[in-house]
Each structure stands twice: as C-alpha cells, then as structure tokens.
C-alpha cells in the first residue's frame, strides 16, 4: 500500500540532493572565477603602474593559481620583473612566462591618451611635493596648490616671503619625476615686521619638535628628491642637530643633501662630515 508514496519520497530526496550538489558546485566555480579575475586584475594593474612595464603589451590569464604571461618586452630584466610581480599576488603558486624579449620592440603610442600609470606618477609627485612643503621651515603662512601633469608642476597660491617662494620652486624642481615647474606663487602682502615675527615663531616652534619627527621627515625629503641617494644616507638627530652619514657620488650631491636637510622644520644645524664620496 505504501510502495508508491515511498518511491515518490525517495525520488524527491534524490532530486533535492542532486540539485543541492549542483548548486554547491556552481557556487564554487563562480567563486573560483571571481578569484581568478581578481588576480588577473591585480597583476595587470601592477604592470600598468610600473614605469618599466606599462608601455609593453602584456597579457595575463590565471587558472587554479597558475598565471600565464604573454607579450613582448625590450629587456630580460623586464621579463623577470613581470614574473616576480605575478608571483607576488596572493594565491598565485606558479607562473608560465611566455613573454618574448625583443630588443627592437617598439611599444605602440596611445593617441594622446594618458595611461593609468601616468596618472599615478603625477599623483605621487604631487603628494611628495605637498609633503615636502608641509615639512619645510617656510611652511608658516604658506597656502599653496600643487598640480602635476606629465611631470610638469604648477604651483599657485601664496607664501609668506620671497625666500619661501624661491624655496617652494626649488623643492618642487628637485622632486622625483618633475621635468618643469611653473611657479605662479605670490608673496602675501603682510604688514612690516610680520615676516620677521613669523620666522621667529617658526624658530621657537622648532625647539619643541621631536628629534624623531625631524629624522623621519629628513629621510623622507631625501627619498622624495632626485639627484640624492636617499636610501644610502643615514640620518640621526639630537636636539635639532642633524647628522648625515654614508656615501654620496660627489660634492654636489652632498651639498644638495645638506640644503634639503637644512630646510626641514625644526633643524638647527647639519653635520655632514661623515657624508663621504
């Protein structure tokens, strides 16, 4: 009597089990596809940001943790760089590198269109200059705007003195990636004596700036500046006196390192005898 109902119940149970299993497999496949798409996007974005790879026409595909690279570059070092970037992405276990090294390869030029990497470069340059200006001993009374386009920096706004105006342009021009500076800054017309009092206030404020803060900002300023081997210069500060040590290429590099250091807020003097070449 109960044979038919039991048969129907068994069939329904089997159908439900199959549907559940299929749904789980589908969800798992979708999750894997999303992960692989994310990994491909991460690798491609890193290539577009890299100044060594952005001009190359590189392609990436990912399958179960294995990245396959193709395209052309001009140097073996760039092929190796592409390989290391792919391996650095989370979940990538191996790389099949089919990139061809072709010394005569000429990257295709875009029709005046800025690449993502160009935008990142300009944004990084702007951020570095803004930071250096903020740390400067001339920051008092400075209200500036920094815009970078294809390596050309435009400064606008006001500063407290002609010295600050020249210093801002010098800081911008010495920054990595800068090809030209359009200095539209204007000296703010203050009452007589205001500049001298602001300088005194800045000097007095420098007495309270921590040595660790000064050391960090000097290191960052050197790192953000071209023509200075920031990573090869050691910096220490005691009571506002900064000591630079390490190796530089020549006297010009040492002089620039000292000048950049002197202009950081809170620095009283700079000792550079240990900075040799």
Q: For residues 34 and 28, what is the distance between their CA atoms, to the nearest angstrom?
A: 10
Which of the four pLDDT bands, split at 50, 70 and 90, describes residue 205? very low
Q: Is the pLDDT of residue 43 over 80?
A: yes
Which of the four pLDDT bands, split at 50, 70 and 90, describes residue 173? very high
Mean pLDDT value of segment 54-69: 92
Mean pLDDT value of segment 121-149: 91
Which value, to the nearest 10 degrees, does the dihedral of the CA atoms of residues 88, 90, 92, 97 take? Answer: -30
Which of the four pLDDT bands, split at 50, 70 and 90, describes residue 152? very high
Measured in residues, the chain has a length of 277
More confident residue, 118 or 79: 79
Mean pLDDT value of segment 3-8: 57
Structural domains for the chain: 28-101 (3.30.1340), 116-204 (3.30.300), 207-276 (3.30.1340.30)
Tens-place pLDDT, residues 87-129: 999 999 999 999 999 988 887 655 566 778 888 889 999 999 9
Q: What are phi and psi of 23, to 5 degrees?
A: -65, -40
SS3 277: coil
More confident residue, 13 or 68: 68
Q: Is the pLDDT of residue 243 over 90?
A: yes
What global pTM score does this model have? 0.66
Q: For residues 190 and 210, what is the distance between their CA atoms, to the nearest angstrom?
A: 30
What was the pLDDT predicted at 214? 95
């Amino acid at each position: 009597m109960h044979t038919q109902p039991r048969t129907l119940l068994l069939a329904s149970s089997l159908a439900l089990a199959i549907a559940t299993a299929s749904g789980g497999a589908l969800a798992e496949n979708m999750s894997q596809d999303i992960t692989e798409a994310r990994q491909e996007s991460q690798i491609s974005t890193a290539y577009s940001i890299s100044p060594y790879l952005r001009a190359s026409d590189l392609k990436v595909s990912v399958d179960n943790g294995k990245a396959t690279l193709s395209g052309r570059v001009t140097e073996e070092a760039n092929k190796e760089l592409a390989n290391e970037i792919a391996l650095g992405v989370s979940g990538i276990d191996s790389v099949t590198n089919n990139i061809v090294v072709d010394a005569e390869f000429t990257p295709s030029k875009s029709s005046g269109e800025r690449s993502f990497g160009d935008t990142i470069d300009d944004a990084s340059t702007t951020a570095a200059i803004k930071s250096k200006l903020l740390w400067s001993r001339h920051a008092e009374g400075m209200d500036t705007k920094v815009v970078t386009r294809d390596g050309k920096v435009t400064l606008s706004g006001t500063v407290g003195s002609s010295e600050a105006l020249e210093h801002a342009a010098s800081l911008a021009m010495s920054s990595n990636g800068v090809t030209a500076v359009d200095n539209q800054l204007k000296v703010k017309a203050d009452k007589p004596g205001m500049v001298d009092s602001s300088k005194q206030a800045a000097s007095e404020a420098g007495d309270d700036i921590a040595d660790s803060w000064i050391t960090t900002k000097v290191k960052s300023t050197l790192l953000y500046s071209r023509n200075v081997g920031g990573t090869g210069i050691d910096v220490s500060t005691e009571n506002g006196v900064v000591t630079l040590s390490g190796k530089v290429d020549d006297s010009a590099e040492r002089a620039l390192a000292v000048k950049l250091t002197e202009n950081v807020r809170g620095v009283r003097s700079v000792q550079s005898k240990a900075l040799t070449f």
